Amino acid sequence: MRTPTVAWWFTPSPTEEELLEVLEEARTWGFLGPGPVAQHLIHSRAFLPLLPESAGTHLDLGSGGGVPGLVLAAAAPETRWILLDSQQRRTAFLSKAVARLGLGNRVEVRCQRAEDAGRGDLRGTLHAVVARGFSGPATTAECAAPLLALQGVLVIAEPPGAPERWSAPELAELGLEPDEVRTAPIALRRFVQRKHCPDRFPRRNGLPRKRPLF
């Protein structure tokens, strides 16, 4: 686990108004989905109780306009965050947003495919991965599991009223174990990385989406 630096504690957290302004701008660029911008803040903060209590490095998978990762970074000053997205326009926006909100000392923006990240320097190092609208359940699980350290958690937003979408045998193959479900203010599901993800995952770029495990 990376030890927080003293500078973290003297960096003011962004205000509600600053976060709303950033999310409004994300919407103008087409990086944020429908619904009131304030609701995106509420939904993003709903991830907080399911994240590890200790400080650590977390990653937002397919961060897009910064939800939930940018909001969670602002709400949890003891954590480090990586905002991962494969689209350069989005990561350019996120880099500017991080600087504007004064979070540059503990938030990194990466323009990279999730599969490449899972085979690179981040593999097996993260305390948590969050995802809101990244992809289907099997693709999200396959891209997230290689990134997680043992006992790290994956927290995923579920579509409203969605039927059961998860297959225990394939999750176990990735080293993931279902852990907790919450339904309000949004549906969230948490998994824990009980075993190291096998080296064969993630499969080559595009295959987790083209041929999902379940």
What pLDDT is recorded for position 54? 83
CATH code reported for the domain at 10-150+167-210 = 3.40.50.150
Q: Strands across the sheet with 148-157, in order?
A: 107-111, 80-85, 57-61, 126-131, 148-157, 188-193, 176-182
In tens, the pLDDT along 131-169 reads 999 999 999 999 999 999 999 999 999 998 888 999 999
- Calculate mean pLDDT across residues 75-89: 97
Which sequence spans correspond to the domains of the chain?
10-150+167-210
Q: How confident is the model at residue 8 (pLDDT cuts 50, 70, 90)?
A: very low
Q: How confident is the model at residue 7 (pLDDT cuts 50, 70, 90)?
A: very low
SS3 202: coil
Q: Residue 9 pLDDT > 70, yes or no?
A: no
| Alpha-carbon distances of 180 from 47, 114, 156, rounded to whole Å | 12, 24, 11
- Calculate mean pLDDT across residues 72-81: 96
What pLDDT is recorded for position 161? 82
Q: How confident is the model at residue 86 (pLDDT cuts 50, 70, 90)?
A: very high
- Calculate mean pLDDT across residues 21-37: 95
> How many other CB atoms sit within 10 Å of the CB of residue 103?
20
Give start and end residues of each alpha helix (H) in the chain.
16-28, 37-45, 69-75, 88-100, 114-118, 137-144, 168-173, 207-210
Q: Residue 22 pLDDT > 80, yes or no?
A: yes
Q: Residue 1 pLDDT > 60, yes or no?
A: no
**Residues 114, 213: Cα–Cα separation, whole Å:** 16
- Calculate mean pLDDT across residues 44-69: 96
In tens, the pLDDT along 170-210 reads 999 999 999 999 999 999 999 999 999 999 999 999 999 99
Chain mean position to CA 88: 17
CA atoms within 13 A on the CB side of 182: 16
Residues 6+ apart with CB under 8 A from 138: 167, 170, 208, 212, 213, 214
Amino acid making up residue 125: T
Closest of 172, 127, 134 to residue 148, by C-alpha:
127
> How many other CB atoms sit within 10 Å of the CB of residue 54?
9
Q: Evaluate whether 65 touches 29 at the Cβ level (below 8 Å).
A: yes
**Residues 104, 146: Cα–Cα separation, whole Å:** 26
DSSP-derived secondary structure letter, 76: -
Q: Evaluate whether 190 touches 155 at the Cβ level (below 8 Å).
A: yes
